[in-house]
Amino acid sequence: MEEIMYDLIILGGGPAGLTAALYGARAKLKTLVIESKIEGGQITNTTDVENYPGIDMINGAELGAKMKKQVVEFGAEFVYDEVVEAELKEEVKKIKTKEKEYEAKAVIIATGADPRKIGCPGEEEYAGKGISYCATCDAAFYEGLEVYVVGGGDSAIDEALFITKFAKKVHIIHRRDALRASQTLQKRAFDNDKIDFIWDSTVKEIKGDMTAKELVLENLKTGEVKSITSDEPFGIFVFIGYVPNTKLFEGQIEMEKGYIKTDEEMHTNLDGVFAAGDLRIKTVRQVVTAASDGAIAAVNAEKYIAEKEGKLYEGFKENK
Ligand code: NAP
């Protein structure tokens, strides 16, 4: 199989990976981004991004596409492929994808996170048949119908508000009696006539035939179990957080509950391996913080490569 040597390989093409690629390519590193799905990562599931500095409002997928275009224009390579193996401990890092084998002097892991599943019976069976994890992709199917949104964080509320553009009613099912979402989003949801709340409840089971037809809920305070059915189709949208995409690196990279440990310079426990974005142990997971991680990781990767090659790195001055 063909092997290709890069200065920097970035795993993941979300905001963290693409920002790392921007900085890597601008520093004239031979840079490759490997993305298994679509550029932009999680933001492609977000309707509107309105908290990225300097941009009033932009569709998530559009922001991802712009980021990719920019890095490619600066000379980074971008491939759609799935990483199946990563050997990161040695000086030369080996990345095996479904299609090829690559080598790199430094690697930045920016593989992000996937939507968390409820884990109840019927969820897997009806995924894509009434259950969705992406409002941008699927909300339009529920024009004039009822939708149930599971979750109480920013994603659930943000997406519930978006779904009201299509659905006649959006019921938010939350396991507590207070939302986790920001005050701004909460206010918008409480002020929206199309939204109501089912508090203290979780989804116990999803039943149906060809599509989901019955939602079994349990009230966690009273223990009451109730079943929601309808003659009309209805949608179930799940937004209960994310699970980091780090399984591939288990046993090599230090993690806590699947999240990668780094220092402030994005170094992992392995020389020449950096991590950036939502898969890192941190508190604020936003597009802007992912981008920040990516920039820091790339600058430090550049420094690492320069030092390995005995070159003087003049990029930044460390505090003494
Ligand atoms: P999140 O903040 O972790 O919220 C997850 C929500 O799901 C919480 O309300 C949680 O309930 C609930 N939950 C978790 N596990 C559950 C389970 N097994 N069953 C039922 N409910 C469960 O996740 P997120 O909303 O996806 O947001 C992720 C990050 O992205 C956050 O940092 C958020 O601020 C950011 N984000 C920002 C924006 C924006 O600024 N517009 C939009 C989207 C996301 P509890 O509250 O009881 O824990």
pLDDT, position 3: 55
pLDDT, position 48: 73
Per-residue pLDDT of the chain (320 residues; tens, 9 = 90+): 555 899 999 999 999 999 999 999 999 999 999 999 888 888 887 667 888 999 998 988 899 999 999 999 999 999 999 999 999 999 999 999 999 999 999 999 999 998 899 999 999 999 989 999 988 778 999 999 999 999 999 999 999 999 999 999 999 999 999 999 999 999 999 999 999 999 999 999 999 998 999 999 999 999 999 999 988 899 999 999 989 999 999 999 999 999 999 999 999 999 999 999 999 999 888 899 999 999 999 999 999 999 999 887 777 666 65
Which ranges constitute the DSSP H helices of the chain? 15-26, 60-73, 123-126, 135-138, 154-163, 183-191, 287-308
Phi (first) and psi of residue 222, to 5 degrees: -100, -15
Q: Which atom of ligand 1 is nearest to the CA of 202?
A: 20
Active-site entry in 137, 177, 196, 263: 137
Q: CATH number of the domain that 80 lies in? A: 3.50.50.60
- Residue 138, CA atoms < 13 Å, CB-side half-sphere: 20
Please tell me the distance from the alpha carbon of residue 169 to that of residue 232, in angstroms, as a whole number: 13
Mutating to test ligand 1, I would choose from 240, 243, 284, 293 the residue with most ligand atoms within 8 A of its C-beta, which is 240
58 assigned to some structural domain: yes
Query: Is-catalytic flag, 120?
Result: no
The position carrying tokens 């790195």 is 313
For the chain, the domain total comes to 2
pLDDT, position 82: 96
Clarify whether residues 22 and 111 are in a common domain.
yes
Gyration radius (Cα) of the chain, Å: 22
pLDDT, position 317: 64
Residue 238's beta-bridge partner residues?
A: 150
Clarify whether residues 85 and 148 are in a common domain.
no
Clarify whether residues 86 and 146 are in a common domain.
no
Burial class (CB within 10 angstroms; exposed 0-12, middle 13-18, buried 19+) of 26: middle
319 assigned to some structural domain: no
Clarify whether residues 267 and 225 are in a common domain.
no
Clarify whether residues 133 and 195 are in a common domain.
yes
Clarify whether residues 30 and 94 are in a common domain.
yes
Nearest CA to ligand 1 atom 9: 152
Nearest CA to ligand 1 atom 11: 152
Active-site entry in 81, 114, 120, 134: 134
Boundary-marking domain end, from 192, 222, 238: 238
Clarify whether residues 102 and 83 are in a common domain.
yes
pLDDT, position 59: 87
- What is the extent of the structural domain holding 166? 123-238
Clarify whether residues 32 and 81 are in a common domain.
yes
Boundary-marking domain end, from 238, 264, 293: 238
313 assigned to some structural domain: no
